[in-house]
Amino acid sequence: MSAGLRRGLADFACRALQATLPPSLHSWGWAVRCETAGIPDDTKALLFALDSVCGLMPRAVASHLLQPFASLIGDGAPFSEGSTSMTVFDAAMRRPRAVGVACAIGAVVLGLAHMVIAGAPTRYLGVNVGALVIGLTMLALIGRTAPTGRQWTGGAILAMAAALLATALAGIEVEGVLRWVRIGGFAIQPSLILLPLMIVVFSQARSVVATAGIIVAAAAMALQPDRAMAGMLVLGLATLTLLCRDRQSIVALAASVAGFAVTLARADTLLAVPYVERVFYSSFDAHAGAGLAVLGGLALLLVPAIVGWRRDAGNRVAYAALGAVWLAAIMAAALGNYPTPMVGYGGSAIIGYALSLLALPKRAGVHAGVASRTHGETDSTLSDRHLLVGLA
Amino acid sequence: MSRTRALSPHARTVLAVLLDAGGQWSHGYELARLADVKSGTLYPLLIRLEAQGYLEAEWQQPAEGGRPPRHAYRLTATGVQLARANPPGHAVPPAGRRREATI
């Protein structure tokens, strides 16, 4: 290869790189081109240019592919923090509730995959999808219209607790257990729908009325009895007490511990229902793919709480309550014959998870990457001007 | 928002070269040669360091006519701290390697 050809190829590679880089990084394209031009040896110049293209081009292409999400991640984002996925993540975390919705959808989809692989009846798939639609619709409606304030939340918690108590007293009885009510031909479990919401709402607005509601709920769980939901109440309130240490949290925790103790003392002899309970074990028996879908879906349930805790310090109590609630549900499903939330058959947990996302703020106070982007754009403009002056 | 990430061996080496340069400006080809890294590794690293405020860059006019300008780099004060805190050859081993064997 002639020296002229090598030099020409090097220049062509640099121009291609310049054309591909996002505008905020054009100065870096010029930097590579000028540096290449300054290397006396043609072969070394060509290798320098090609190496640069290999290192920068994938990120430049990624930047263009992410252009549709520019409003979320900003121009040149794949370079701004050194990791495309982390930058997308930063942008997503500005909308914690949207992240929760995405995780809910992902978990349900993985649950559907598990049920398809495991050979569940088709009707089960439809029920879970329908529950997801109902849950997200309720989330949208309540999130938009619900009034705020301790008085309203206290009353709401008390009303939900009354519904749980009514279930314990007049619900569908199966072998001495009263956890369900029949609505529209479906037996639903109100505690899975209401209790997570009650806990996360209580974490945000505690009052005497709300505390009374939690005490009633603890009594209802003891009466039903429901060890899993009583455990959820204990774990959620213990987390809250650790973070807030106020009188209402402590009183509510004490009541929940008492209720949980009652459920532990009473025998729980219900057999596991296929595709609902013991899914941790049955899914892997069916196929490794089904098992992995179950694990992945359950992990997704905790993602909004974990990343929110790390990224949105102003709302940590809400994230902690949400995480504790669903961790308790997962632990219960792993340890006993209790519903496997979201990934097993059952719409109550799906609706309950969607409603519990009301605890997450629509927008977090995260401004990651703004400073660096502004800096990059300013630098780009100045550097290009300097280069043009230099070339003139 | 700043984020602390483990530095790669290449990053540590490039930082060391920039640190050795003191307050003097360095250039891309020279940096790649001294740090023994390919330019495809060097430039993404420089972009990241500059975006995070560890590196400053400027265009320098050529001393002799007919030559292109050059993009030059040197560490900022925080970059110097980062380089001193992350010398080459002191990478933290992955957590998995520190696990003791169990039976």
> For residue B3, which residues of chain A lie inside 8 Å, CB to CB?
81, 86
For residue range B44-78, what is the model confidence (pLDDT) as tens digits?
899 989 988 999 999 988 877 778 889 999 999 99
User: Which helix (H) or strand (E) covers residue B32, if one does?
Assistant: helix B28-35
Four-residue CA torsion sign, A194, A197, A200, A201: negative
Q: With an 8 Å Cβ cutoff, are B42 and A55 in contact?
A: yes
Measured between CA atoms, the residue of chain B closest to residue A53 is B40
User: Which helix (H) or strand (E) covers residue B44, if one does?
Assistant: helix B39-51
Residue A378 above 80 pLDDT? no
Cβ neighbours around A213 below 10 Å, total: 26
Q: With an 8 Å Cβ cutoff, are A51 and B5 in contact?
A: no
Percent residues over pLDDT 90 in chain A: 48
pLDDT band at A16; cut points 50, 70, 90: confident
Selected for mutation to probe chain B from A81, A90, A378, A388 (highest B CB count within 10 Å) is A81
C-alpha distances (whole Å) from A189 to each of A132, A198, A342 are: 15, 15, 14
CA B89, CA B103: separation in Å to the nearest integer? 33
Residue A379 above 50 pLDDT? no
* Average pLDDT of the segment spanning B5-27: 88
What phi and psi values does residue B58 have, to the nearest 5 degrees? -150, 155
Q: With an 8 Å Cβ cutoff, are A375 and B51 in contact?
A: yes
> For residue A73, which residues of chain B lie inside 8 Å, CB to CB?
none
For residue range A248-272, what is the model confidence (pLDDT) as tens digits?
999 999 999 999 999 999 887 788 8
B30 touches chain A (CB under 8 A): no
Enumerate the H helices of chain A as residue ranges: 3-20, 26-37, 42-65, 70-73, 77-80, 84-92, 96-118, 122-145, 150-170, 190-204, 208-223, 227-244, 247-265, 279-286, 288-311, 316-335, 347-356, 370-391
Strand partners, A172: A180
Straight-line distance from the first to the last Cα atom of chain A, in angstroms, rounded to the nearest whole number: 32
* CA angle A270–A273–A279, rounded 5-degree value: 115
Yes or no: say if A237 and A256 are a contact pair by the CB < 8 Å rule: yes
Four-residue CA torsion sign, A373, A377, A379, A384: positive
pLDDT band at A118; cut points 50, 70, 90: confident
Strand partners, B55: B75
Yes or no: say if A355 and A137 are a contact pair by the CB < 8 Å rule: no
C-alpha distances (whole Å) from A133 to each of A101, A104, A248, A357, B16 are: 11, 11, 35, 14, 56
- Region of residue A342 (phi > 0: left; psi between -120 and 50: alpha; otherwise: beta): left
C-alpha distances (whole Å) from A207 to each of A199, A315, A366, A379, B61 are: 13, 19, 29, 53, 69
pLDDT at B54 (0 to 100): 93
pLDDT at A300 (0 to 100): 93
A368, A373, A378, A381: CA torsion to nearest 10: 180
Mean residue pLDDT of chain A comes to 83
Residues 43-82 of chain B whose Cβ lies under 8 A from any Cβ of chain A: 43-44, 46-48, 50-53, 57-59, 61-62, 67-71
Q: Which of B5, B44, B69 sits opposite A387 (nearest CB)?
A: B69
Four-residue CA torsion sign, A232, A138, A205, A170: negative
Q: With an 8 Å Cβ cutoff, are B67 and A38 in contact?
A: yes
CA A273, CA A276: separation in Å to the nearest integer? 5
Q: With an 8 Å Cβ cutoff, are B44 and A59 in contact?
A: yes
A367 touches chain B (CB under 8 A): yes
Yes or no: say if A329 and A348 are a contact pair by the CB < 8 Å rule: no
CA A338, CA B28: separation in Å to the nearest integer? 61
DSSP codes joined into one string, A35-50: HHHT-SSHHHHHHHHH
Yes or no: say if A343 and A79 are a contact pair by the CB < 8 Å rule: no
CA A224, CA A226: separation in Å to the nearest integer? 6
CA B54, CA B6: separation in Å to the nearest integer? 15
Half-sphere exposure of A149 (CA within 13 A, CB side): 5
Q: With an 8 Å Cβ cutoff, are B71 and A383 in contact?
A: yes
Mean residue pLDDT of chain B comes to 81
Residue B12 above 70 pLDDT? yes
> For residue B43, which residues of chain A lie inside 8 Å, CB to CB?
28, 31-32, 52, 55-56
Four-residue CA torsion sign, A47, A50, A54, A55: positive
Please state which of the ranges A8-22, A303-317, A378-392 shows the lowest mean pLDDT.
A378-392
| 3-class DSSP state of A268 | coil
A90 touches chain B (CB under 8 A): yes
The alpha carbon of residue A298 is apart from the nearest alpha carbon of chain B, in Å, by 24
Residue A88 above 60 pLDDT? no
ω into residue A225 within 30 of 0, thus cis?
yes
Residue B30 above 90 pLDDT? yes
Strand partners, A180: A172
Residue A380 above 50 pLDDT? no
Residue B101 above 50 pLDDT? no
Half-sphere exposure of A267 (CA within 13 A, CB side): 5
Q: What is the ipTM of this complex?
A: 0.83
- Region of residue A92 (phi > 0: left; psi between -120 and 50: alpha; otherwise: beta): alpha
Q: With an 8 Å Cβ cutoff, are A372 and B32 in contact?
A: no
Q: Which tops the pLDDT comparison, A205 or A298?
A: A298
CA A44, CA B30: separation in Å to the nearest integer? 12
pLDDT at B31 (0 to 100): 93
Selected for mutation to probe chain A from B7, B39, B67 (highest A CB count within 10 Å) is B39
Q: Which two tokens stand for residue A385?
A: 């001007």
pLDDT at A199 (0 to 100): 96
